[in-house]
Amino acid sequence: MKRLSAALVIGAGLALAFAPAARPVHASDAPHRTCPAEMAFTAGTCMDRYEARLLERHEDGSLTPFPAFARPKHGVFVAESRAGVRPQGYISQLEAASACQNAGKRLCTLSEWYRACRGEHDTLYPYGATYERGRCNVGKPHLLSILHGDDPQAWSYETAFNDPELNRRPGFLAETGEYAGCVTSAGVFDLVGNLHEWVADRVDASIAQKMPLKSEIRSRIARNTGKGVFMGGFFSTMNQHGAGCDFVTMAHEPRYHDYSTGFRCCQDP
């Protein structure tokens, strides 16, 4: 697979916006739109083909890869959409949104992400209508239990959920594009599994009109108002919060981060 890259500089501040649903966008529309090489035209927008990794920018302007298993706490970071690298976990919605904004891009809206995942044929999975084992990086054993014991009450936020070993352990977090069958017809990889992906939306009543929701998730919209949203599941999930493209989590603050949270960007064509 040819490696394609784009740089995004992480900075501070972003007004997170909602976008109304639009008509489905078909492959026949793509030749009439222009996107950067590292992006695909899908769902009416340009979307990064791969989940982002980070590079660290130094004072002399040089860039070095930032470990995908570390927290980007300080400094200036550059996100890169490229095949064959481990994508960045441990990142918050605010940090991800700033990365996109400072590169002239933005986080995808929930509606854009959802339509892109379901593709031109409007299927539950990026590759088709029914689940196929091994197509996407999902259903792995639960690493928190393996590394921190079976009692969730003992899992602390900093030392358990943000344990660097979780995304360093072989066989769990995959390189971008490694699951070659987990791809949409437009050429966007890993929308289901590998890492959760932050989208731009904050929770409000309109969420229920943007995508199907499990009843228990729908019932918690009011109490979760203002929280961030991430999509698609990660390497240890299946259908707990919805199957395939319908998987959504909206119970965490925009500053939340753990080993499962990643992102990619969109850009108006």
pLDDT digits (tens, 9 = 90+) for 67-92: 999 998 887 888 789 999 999 999 99
pLDDT band with cut points at 50, 70 and 90 for residue 61: confident
pTM listed for this prediction: 0.85
Which of 105 and 236 is assigned the larger pLDDT? 236
Note the pLDDT of residue 98: 83
Instruction: Please give the backbone phi and psi of residue 53, each rounded to the nearest 5 degrees, phi first.
Output: -110, 170
pLDDT at 101 over 90: no
pLDDT tens digits along 36-57: 999 999 999 999 999 998 878 7
Decide if pLDDT at 22 tops 60. Answer: no
- Please give, one letter per residue, the 3-state secondary structure of 36-65: CCCEEEECCEEEECCCCEEEEECCCCCEEE
Per-residue confidence (pLDDT) for residue 20, from 0 to 100:
37
What does residue 116 show for φ and ψ, rounded to 5 degrees? -65, -40
CA separation for the pair 187, 118 (Å, rounded): 12
Band the pLDDT of 236: cuts 50, 70, 90. very high
Q: Delimit the domains of the chain by residue range.
A: 7-142+167-267
φ and ψ at 158, to 5 degrees?
-75, -45
Q: What is the CATH number of domain 7-142+167-267?
A: 3.90.1580
Give yes or no for a contact between 58 and 151, defined as CB atoms under 8 angstroms apart: no
Angle at 40 between CA 38 and CA 46, to 5 degrees: 95
Is the distance from CB of 241 to CB of 214 less than 8 angstroms? yes
Per the model's pLDDT, the better-predicted residue between 265 and 4 turns out to be 265
Confidence (pLDDT) at 103: 77
Other CB atoms within 10 Å distance of the CB of residue 99: 29
Task: Give me the pLDDT at residue 119, please.
Answer: 96
Pairwise pLDDT comparison (134 vs 30), residue with the higher score: 134
pLDDT confidence band for 232 (50 / 70 / 90): very high
